[in-house]
Amino acid sequence: MQLVRPGPEHLASYVAALERGWSADNERGVEAAREELSRIHADAAAFLASMEDREAKGPPITLPDGSTAKRLPGFRRWLWDGEFCGSIGVRWQPGTTALPPYCLGHIGYAVVPWKQRLGYAKSALRLILPEAEAVGLPYVEITTDPDNIPSQRVIEANGGIFVEHFIKPQQFGCKPGLRFRIMFT
């Protein structure tokens, strides 16, 4: 498995995953998948270009409760083993490690169900960390749900240290979460 910058040669496999109901958005799920399919059908090249938005020029993001928020600088990579396996993304605020309340972590990832338990998430996180460090972050914070033991193991296998239990903001349903930190220095 490798990380690839999303390109035209990967798009059909990505679309197939969305059409199967997968979405990198674990909160909005099928609704988010439909929105991405609509964007791809409207302008595939613009969709692919939006996967690398280091200046946050894209439109606002839609939060789980339907509200919108300002987009942060960021980029996404796709997990690839000859076909689409998942997505991992990095987002940040220039000049600070702080994130706005509506952004729960610097890195988010999701593996398609039919490729889970193969070590892909663990490898993807390991591979994306140098890119996250290259944007000037001294560390990244990653959050997960208390019952998501596989994600906790992925984070810990990559040097993640538990920071805190927290309650997600209202846009995320005020549910409990766990915050981990991976230091670069």
Rounded Cα distance between 79 and 19, Å, is 17
Q: Supply the mean pLDDT for the chain.
A: 95
Domains and CATH numbers, the chain: 2-138 (3.40.630)
- Per-residue pLDDT reduced to its tens digit, 118-134: 999 999 999 999 999 99
Whether 125 and 107 have beta carbons less than 8 Å apart is answered as yes
Bridge partners of residue 165, in order along the sequence: 178
User: pLDDT at residue 116 above 80?
Assistant: yes
**pLDDT range class, residue 168, cuts 50, 70, 90:** very high
User: pLDDT at residue 66 above 90?
Assistant: no
Give percent of the chain above pLDDT 90. 86
Do strands 176-183 and 139-144 pair parallel, antiparallel, or not at all (unpaired)?
Answer: antiparallel
- What is the Cβ-side half-sphere exposure of residue 175, based on CA atoms within 13 angstroms? 14
**pLDDT range class, residue 26, cuts 50, 70, 90:** confident
User: pLDDT at residue 185 above 90?
Assistant: no
3-state secondary structure of 95: coil
Do strands 176-183 and 161-167 pair parallel, antiparallel, or not at all (unpaired)?
Answer: antiparallel
**pLDDT range class, residue 49, cuts 50, 70, 90:** very high
Rounded Cα distance between 63 and 96, Å, is 22
User: pLDDT at residue 92 above 90?
Assistant: yes
Provide mean pLDDT across the span 143-165: 97
